[in-house]
């Protein structure tokens, strides 16, 4: 059996954390915010994000956190006329990550096509209750998200489509995922995951003892 490694701890963002996130970055409640989380590893498609941001025609706040990051790209983003960049250099504590997610109208996940690695960022957004802008890099993930009002897909490697998705969030923030979202992505509670691992281990021990 293959199942998600990430677990749902049931600790969705609170209204206080959402208000605290906006206050922490001095962002008015009515202005649009997208967060870009995690280090810029080779499987992440920062080039497509870079190209899409240059196409913005309406103001957007972008909160970037993680490590490593490309300082040259960040400096270029600081100069874009319709982008307000907020930077939190990682690694950071869980409480800070929750403030970043809390400030956001959506989390952006952009990967290169055919990357099938489980995305902790997608799982985080689902369990915390944060809408997603996500590339269609993984057909299995795309199928699970299809039709969900809180997930805005775009073709991997397509900056124009990503820019359209960003403008959609600016004009009308998506609905937040409900408590059923983690289950939709195959996540289990910590108790369920621990029980599964214990039963799997016991089964393997039994098979070994019969050899």
Does the pLDDT at position 197 exceed 70? Answer: no
Q: What is the phi/psi pair of residue 122, to 5°? A: -65, -45
Q: What is the pLDDT of residues 13-37, one digit of tens each?
A: 999 999 999 999 999 999 999 999 9
Cβ atoms < 10 Å from Cβ of 80: 16
Does the pLDDT at position 7 exceed 90? Answer: no
Between CA 129 and CA 101 the distance in angstroms is: 9
End-to-end CA distance of the chain: 22
Determine the average pLDDT of the residues in 37-48.
94
Determine the average pLDDT of the residues in 89-109.
93
pLDDT confidence of residue 150: 96
Q: Which of 22, 178, 177, 38 is nearest to 100 (CA)?
A: 22
Give the lowest-confidence range in 89-98, 128-137, 146-155. Answer: 89-98
pLDDT confidence of residue 183: 86
Higher pLDDT, 169 or 183: 169
pLDDT confidence of residue 10: 78
Between CA 204 and CA 210 the distance in angstroms is: 10
**Three-state DSSP class for residue 111:** strand
Q: 81-119: string of b/e by CB count within 10 Å (b at 16+)?
A: eebbbbebebeeeeeebbbbbbbbbbbbbbbeeebeeeb
pLDDT band at 6 (very low <50, low <70, confident <90, very high): low
Does the pLDDT at position 188 exceed 90? Answer: no
Determine the average pLDDT of the residues in 118-123.
83
Does the pLDDT at position 4 exceed 80? Answer: no
pLDDT band at 200 (very low <50, low <70, confident <90, very high): very low
pLDDT confidence of residue 190: 57
Three-state SS annotation for 47-78? HHHHHHHCCCCCCEEEEEEECCCCHHHHHHHH
């Amino acid at each position: 059996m293959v199942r998600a490694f990430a677990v749902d701890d049931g600790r969705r963002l609170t209204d206080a954390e959402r208000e605290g996130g906006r206050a922490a970055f001095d962002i008015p409640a009515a202005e649009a915010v997208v967060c870009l989380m995690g280090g810029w590893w080779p499987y992440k498609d920062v080039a497509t994000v870079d190209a899409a941001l240059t196409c913005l025609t309406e103001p957007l706040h972008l909160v970037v956190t993680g490590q490593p990051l490309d300082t040259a790209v960040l400096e270029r983003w600081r100069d874009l006329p319709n982008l307000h960049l907020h930077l939190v250099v990682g690694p950071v504590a869980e409480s800070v990550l929750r403030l970043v997610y809390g400030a956001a109208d959506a989390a952006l996940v952009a990967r290169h096509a055919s990357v099938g690695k489980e995305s902790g960022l997608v799982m985080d957004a689902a369990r915390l209750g944060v809408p997603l802008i996500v590339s269609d890099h993984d057909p299995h993930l795309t199928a699970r998200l299809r039709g969900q009002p809180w997930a805005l897909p775009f073709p991997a490697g397509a900056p124009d489509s990503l820019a359209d998705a960003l403008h959609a969030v600016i004009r009308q923030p998506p609905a937040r995922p409900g408590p059923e979202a983690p289950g939709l992505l195959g996540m289990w509670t910590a108790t369920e995951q621990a029980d599964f691992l214990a039963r799997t281990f016991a089964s393997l021990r039994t098979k070994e003892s019969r050899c």
